[in-house]
């Protein structure tokens, strides 16, 4: 999480079609928004929950069989 700051970020693997999400670190949470609707709703996740999600992604927990 140290690579995030208050700036919105997209994955380096995101394409150029805008069909992705942006993420930023807020005071005690991680915020996520849709790049196609930047003025729309923002989801807030506790930093620990976000870290668990990222760990699951890295471990293949959400891979389709």
Mean pLDDT of the 5-19 span: 77
All structural domains of the chain with their residue ranges: 1-55
- Please choose, from the candidates 48, 54, 2, the residue with its C-alpha nearest in 3D space to the C-alpha of residue 29: 48
Stated pTM of the model: 0.75
Q: Is 18 helix (H, G, I), strand (E, B) or coil?
A: coil
Q: How far apart are CA 26 and CA 5, in angstroms?
A: 8
The number of beta carbons lying within 10 Å of the beta carbon of residue 50 is 19
In the three-class reduction of DSSP (H, G, I as helix; E, B as strand; rest coil), residue 50 is classed as helix
The 10s digit of each residue's pLDDT in 16-58 is: 776 788 999 988 899 999 988 889 999 999 999 999 999 999 9
| Structure confidence at residue 1 (pLDDT) | 43
The token duo for 9 is: 């970020």
On the question of pLDDT at 2 being above 50, the answer is no
Give the pLDDT of residue 15. Answer: 72
Q: If DSSP codes are grouped into helix, strand and coil, which group holds residue 46?
A: strand
């Amino acid at each position: 999480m140290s690579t995030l700051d208050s700036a919105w970020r997209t994955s380096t693997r995101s394409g150029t079609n805008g069909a992705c999400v942006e993420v930023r670190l807020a005071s005690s949470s991680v915020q996520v928004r849709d790049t196609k609707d930047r003025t729309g709703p923002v989801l807030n996740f506790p930093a620990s929950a976000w870290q668990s999600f990222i760990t699951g992604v890295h471990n293949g927990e959400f891979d389709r069989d």
